[in-house]
Amino acid sequence: MTHEATQITSPTKPSEILLHLGPQHPLQPGPFLLDLKIEGETIREAELKIGYIHKGMEKVFEDRTYLQILPLTDRICYLASNSNNDVYCRGVEELLGIEPTERAKYLRVLTNELCRLQSHLLGIGEYATDVGFLTMFIYMVREREGVVSLLEAITGSRLNHNYARFGGVANDLPPGYKEMALKTLGELKKQVKSHDEMLSSDSIYLRRTKGVGVLTAKEAGELGVAGPPLRAAGVEYDLRRMEPYLVYDDLDFKVITQTDGDVFSRVKVRLLEILESIYIIEQCLDQMPSGPYKQDVTPYITRPKPGEVYARIEDPRGEMGMYIISDGSDKPYRFRIRGPAFATAQALPPLLVGGYVADVAAIAASMDSCTSEVDR
């Protein structure tokens, strides 16, 4: 792995050509341009060019009030909209010096984990298509529908939830939610176990994934990735355990790690995390205290004291951080989004160098980068 492979040089040998994968290519969840210098089927150099859907969110947020920003945080990454709401609300709460109610904390953990479930399910599905396994994609999307319906039952929306509020959440659980959730999740657990078995025993799948795109713990640290790609390399780095926020301290869960750091491990980590998330959700539903789900007086018009905060959270893809500087007005002075997908995307080109063109899709999808968030 070369750490200098940020810039692609023009082909020198006659056997080398420059291959553009992007901005409109079937391997991509969103538009980005992957320039590859290939010789035969082997990749010699790789460069990732981003910015095709740059929305200028950081600039926009400086021009919106704190409450107006809240629904916009959904749009940072549509697959992790709940986590984004949550990290934003935690940041603003810290600036305001308030705490969410106990029930709201559980509700946020619940929705966060549901969000992680649906993101991982789609991530694995997308990944499966990239090794030509369309059936697994459809299965994963089928399982995901149940999870999304669970989210919809709470938040009223299937994709952009906008659920967290400063000091609480938007609404309480609907009646009979626990039974419905346990039924769906029980079914999901069974399905995911069977898919896990299928993916771990299929010889073609193993040959496509074992030892491909290896990211060792040391390299992963140097490349600055977090989340499943790092845990797949054996580093037990999970902010839910490291810096317990909300009620993760009271919940029992394992940090899933694998040792190999290859494509297989990354997908395996996600599969096992799905099971672990289901376990967390079950505990949440059991332990959830009664009480108000939001503060008595929700601070809708917020003028935090001057100050700054760096809030971070374990997103489905890694460490999601938001750095908010307040100058005492009703709009943030500076709003910085530190997305996990940005870090993962940056680490992609060095992983590809020396591999095959055929593995590009598998490696890229196993890193589970979200273009919407990379570009912001």
Q: Which of residues 275-314 bind another protein (CB under 8 A)?
A: 308, 310, 312
Nearer to another protein, 178 or 336 (CB): 336
Q: Which of residues 176-235 bind another protein (CB under 8 A)?
A: 202, 204-205, 207-208, 221-224, 226, 230, 235
Which of 189, 369, 135, 152 has its CA nearest to residue 266?
Answer: 369
What's the number of CA atoms in the CB half-sphere (13 Å) around residue 139? 19
Nearer to another protein, 293 or 342 (CB): 342
Least Cβ distance, residue 330 to another protein (angstroms)? 10
SS3 213: coil
Q: Which DSSP helix (H) or strand (E) runs through 267?
A: helix 263-287
Q: What is the contact mask toward another protein in residues 337 to 356, using x (rule: CB under 8 A)?
A: -x---xx--xx------x-x
Rounded CA-CA distance 88/164 in Å is: 9
Q: Which of 45, 93, 273, 375 binds another protein (CB under 8 A)?
A: 375
Q: What is the contact mask toward another protein in residues 100 to 119, using x (rule: CB under 8 A)?
A: --------------------
Least Cβ distance, residue 185 to another protein (angstroms)? 19
Q: Which of 9, 142, 186, 306 binds another protein (CB under 8 A)?
A: 142
Cβ atoms of residues 328 and 308 within 8 Å: no
**Joined tokens for residue 261:** 């750091």
Strand 42-49 versus strand 33-39 pairing type: antiparallel
Q: Which of 69, 121, 131, 251 binds another protein (CB under 8 A)?
A: 131
Per DSSP, 30 falls in state S
Least Cβ distance, residue 196 to another protein (angstroms)? 15
The maximal CA–CA distance of the chain, rounded, in angstroms, is: 71
User: What is the layout of strands, in order, in the sheet containing 42-49?
Assistant: 16-21, 33-39, 42-49
Amino acid at the residue 95 = L
Amino acid at the residue 346 = Q
Output Rg (C-alpha) for the chain, integer angstroms. 21
Q: Which of 106, 139, 163, 264 binds another protein (CB under 8 A)?
A: 139
Nearer to another protein, 155 or 261 (CB): 261
Q: Which of residues 31-70 bind another protein (CB under 8 A)?
A: 31, 33, 39-42, 50-51, 54, 56, 58-59, 63-65, 68
Q: Pick the stretch among 7-15, 103-111, 282-290, 291-299 that binds another protein (CB under 8 A).
A: 7-15
- Residue 204 burial by Cβ neighbours in a 10 Å radius (0-12, 13-18, 19+): exposed
Q: Which of 135, 194, 200, 259 binds another protein (CB under 8 A)?
A: 135
Nearer to another protein, 28 or 265 (CB): 28
